Amino acid sequence: RAVEQYQHTVFDDSDFQTEKLLYLLNHTPVPTKFDSHLLAETMKKVVVAKEGYLEFHFKNGYQRKIWLKEE
């Protein structure tokens, strides 16, 4: 019974993930070029939408949509 309950339990670790992200960002120098390690440590996924925006999904559950501007 305990195994079944554990398998169906939803864990909300957003506070823990936020603390990890804040620590990482506060202890990492501002990058001057693309940093794949920083991306892997902070992002769950990045969506490139055909409608013209990027959607960033952070590991702490936060999401941010950025619209691309045509020049």
**Residue-by-residue DSSP string for the chain:** -HHHHHHTPPP--HHHHHHHHHHHHHTSPPPSS--HHHHHHHEEEEEEETTTEEEEEETTS-EEEEEPPP-
pLDDT tens, residue order, the chain (71 aa): 878 877 777 777 888 888 888 888 888 888 889 989 888 988 999 999 999 999 999 988 889 999 998 65
Domain extents in the chain: 2-67
Angle at 54 between CA 49 and CA 56, to 5 degrees: 120
Q: What is the pTM of this model?
A: 0.62
